[in-house]
A and B are shown apart, each in its own frame.
Chain A
Amino acid sequence: MTDQSFEEFLHLSVDLTAFEETELLGTGLAHQYLAKVRAACGGEVVSALLDAHRAARADAADGVGGHDPAVLDRALRHRIFSDDRLGPVARNVIKLWYAGMWYGLPPEWTDCYGARTAAETATVTAASYQEGLLWPAIGANPPGAKAPGYGSWAQPPRIDDRYLRGGAK
């Protein structure tokens, strides 16, 4: 596992999940998640996914280190989500981050692209349920873990401005 592909996996995950890199690394599970995608789909599919993402970011580059979000959105749909091989894998990466589970890909995918291990649904580690992004996304704690403290439920959930309608980007 090279440092470069890990970095690229992080960048891909930032674009797929809408969570910042600090939050993704803050789960402590980024390395395990990349290893899980590799183990499920094989290194070749992962390389192709990272290549497609790099190309999508290049499409949207604004020339000064940033990118145009609308162009990036279109490029991701065009290069990744509408691709029969890469689309289902990218959707699974989103689910992996949000739910901490690898959901088995359907037989249609494994029949075409091999990688039978991709069909097996599995939890990555005991920590991945607790670290699922769905919990911070809704401003709640995972039931049974990360106790929020007595009475905390009387407070409204804290959600970053940028995720709220009308909030700053």
Chain B
Amino acid sequence: MTASTIDNRDDLISYLHAAMALEHATIPPYLTAYYSIRSGTNSDAAHIIRVVAVEEMLHLTLAANVLNAIGGTPDLTLPGFVPTYPAYLPDGEDDFTVDLRPFSPEAVETFCRIERPGEAPGAGSRLVRTADRARPVLVSSPTVEGMRFYSIGEFYEEIIEGLEKVAADDPGLFCGDPTLQVGPEYFYSGGGTVTTVRDLDSARRALRAIAAQGEGLDSGVHDADGELAHYYRFRQLQLGRYYQVGDRPDSPSGPPLGVSWDDVYRLKVSARLSDYPAGSELARAARGFNADYGAFLALLTKAFNGRPGLLQDAVWYMFRLRDGFNRLVRNPLPGSGGLNAAPTFEVPTAVDSGPHAPRTVGGTPRAVTR
């Protein structure tokens, strides 16, 4: 058994910041694949990707609730919160990265790797040494330099054990302001029920819900509620068939599922602003998307810091992001050999950042004054 990497509240806070960054980091790759699908086609695949992306948004909110419950301060505007793609994954392998890809067999393979339920062969190998490299890593230990987790499930297991250990020594661990919790009255129709966190039991429930829905340690195809884990949702796209309850992992027996890999905008993989022609209209649109995305993360930060009602505004922010996403992916990217543009998620350092900054509406277009 490896010694725990979590000794106190500060360690837990670091881990939960990392958990929020991790949950968020999966969303741009899913959205890129989702919006690359031409409208009216690939409805099975689009539905599967959308369900998973929405559940990641729930996971982000659950992680924020746990962080708030122990007196931390969620901040989605911190530099590095949004990774630079391609980013490495924490599943014990050093040979692949997470890219922003159009819907394709490669994208689905990456999604399966992100979500693979990878219980370490022995608890001793939960933490593995990171290879020496410059690329960003989605999940590394925030408290032990140079170490990262064998899988995302292991990462959450480490946090749960850390919470248990620190709570046993410190009865005041759950000292967070209860009004900062985001409850089901603010987060709904979003991939499951949000758990408010006020003690060890509810914290465990919140984190286990993340593990069970996605990348968790459960090796079953369906969880206790009969819901299909993310890994198996994506496997359906590879195997061309839906799972039914009772199926074994490699032989789904449900109805066949159609995938049309060609009905997709061929996007530049992990596009960067530097791929856009300097000074072009299209570069301006890509920067505008990034600015809107930054404003959206600032809005979520405020929602997680005492203004949960702002999550209602987050809905129309997301719809605007959808329209901006669609606009970019339909534009050819000059000089890319026939590929299309895509959001780069290079979020500018916001003037309006931090949980206590005043609220503004981002983006270039100006509101009409009446």
| CB-defined contacts of B313 to chain A, threshold 8 Å | 151
Cβ contact within 8 Å between B323 and A146? yes
0/1 interface trace, chain A 157-169, chain B, CB 8 Å (1 if under)? 1111100100100
Interface size class of A (residues with CB under 8 A): 20 to 34
Cβ contact of A152, chosen from B285, B316, B331, B366, cutoff 8 A: B316
State in angstroms the CA–CA spacing of A160 and B327 once bound together.
15
B123, CB-defined interface residue at 8 Å: no
Which of B147-155, B163-171, B219-227, B357-365 participates in binding chain A?
A: B357-365
> Is there contact, CB below 8 Å, between B366 and A25?
no
A21-B370 contact given A27-B330, A160-B365, CB 8 Å threshold: no
B332 contacts A25, CB within 8 Å? Answer: yes
Judge if A107 is at the interface, Cβ distance under 8 Å.
Answer: no
Q: Which residues 133-166 of A have a CB within 8 angstroms of B?
A: 139, 146-152, 155-161, 164
B284 nearest in chain A by CB position: A22
Check B328 against A156 for contact (C-beta < 8 Å): no
Determine how close the nearest CB of chain B comes to the CB of A72; give it in whole angstroms: 18
User: How far is the CB of B342 from the nearest CB of chain A, in Å?
Assistant: 13
Given the complex, which residues of A lie within 8 Å of B366, measured CB to CB? 158-161, 164, 167
Question: Is there a chain B Cβ closer than 8 Å to A114's Cβ?
Answer: no
Residue of B nearest to A26 (CB): B327
A26-B330, A27-B330, A150-B312 in contact; A21/B365 too (CB < 8 A)? no
B281 within 8 A of A: yes
Among B40, B282, B316, contact of A22 (Cβ-Cβ < 8 Å): B282
List the A side residues contacting B367 at CB < 8 Å.
155-158
Residues of B within 8 A of A126 (CB): 40
Q: Which residues of A contact B330 (CB under 8 A)?
A: 25-28
Is B326 an interface residue, CB under 8 A from the partner? yes
Contact flag A160-B364 (CB < 8 Å), given A22-B281, A26-B331, A27-B330: yes
Chain A residues with CB under 8 Å of B285's CB are: 22, 26
* Contact B319 A25, beta carbon cutoff 8 Å: no
Q: Is A23 an interface residue (CB 8 A)?
A: yes
Complex interface residues of chain A between 22 and 40 (CB less than 8 A to chain B)? 22-23, 25-28
B238 CB–A CB distance under 8 Å: no
Pair B316/A149 contact, Cβ less than 8 Å: yes
Q: Within 8 Å of chain B (Cβ to Cβ): is A62?
A: no
- The chain A residue with its CB closest to the CB of B363 is A158
Is B369's beta carbon under 8 Å from chain A? yes
* A122 adjacent to chain B (CB < 8 Å): no
Interface residues of B in 299-322 (CB under 8 A from A): 312-313, 315-320
Most buried by A among B38, B331, B361, B363: B331
Contact A147 B370 (CB under 8 A): no
Question: How far is the CB of B261 from the nearest CB of chain A, in Å?
Answer: 19
**CB of A18 closer than 8 Å to a CB of B:** no
CA distance A159 to B370 in the complex (A): 13
Over the window 264-307 of chain B, the binary record of Cβ atoms lying under 8 Å from chain A Cβ atoms (1 yes, 0 no) is 00000000000000000110110000000000000000000000
Any chain B CB within 8 A of the CB of A20?
yes
CA gap between A151 and B332 in the complex, in Å:
34
By a CB distance below 8 angstroms, the chain A residues around B315 are 149-152
Q: Do A21 and B319 form a contact, CB below 8 Å, given A26-B331, A151-B313?
A: no
Q: CB-CB < 8 A to A148: which residues of B?
A: 316, 319
Q: Does B251 contact A (CB under 8 A)?
A: no
Kindly state whether residue A48 has any CB partner on chain B within 8 Å: no
A151 contacts which chain B residues (CB < 8 A)?
312-313, 315-316
A20 in contact with B363 given A149-B318, A150-B315, A155-B316 (CB within 8 Å): no
Given contacts A20-B281, A22-B282, whether A159 and B327 have CB atoms under 8 Å apart is no
Give A141 Cβ to nearest chain B Cβ, in Å: 8
Q: A127 within 8 Å of B by Cβ?
A: yes
- Docked CA distance A26–B326 (Å): 7
Cα(A21)–Cα(B367), bound, Å: 22
Asked if B253 is at the interface (CB within 8 A of a chain A CB), the reply is: no
CA distance A167 to B365 in the complex (A): 11
B336 within 8 A of A: no
| B351 adjacent to chain A (CB < 8 Å) | no
Of A28, A149, A159, the residue contacting B368 (CB under 8 A) is A159
Tell me if B39 is interfacial: C-beta within 8 Å of chain A.
yes
Q: What are 11 contact pairs spanning A and B, CB under 8 A? A: A22-B282, A25-B331, A26-B331, A27-B330, A139-B368, A146-B319, A148-B319, A151-B316, A155-B361, A156-B370, A158-B320
In the complex, the 10 A-B pairs of residues with the closest C-beta atoms, listed nearest first: A26-B327, A149-B316, A152-B316, A149-B315, A158-B365, A156-B367, A28-B330, A149-B319, A25-B331, A22-B281
Apart from A22-B282, A150-B316, A151-B316, list 4 A-B contacts with CB within 8 A: A139-B368, A148-B316, A158-B320, A158-B368
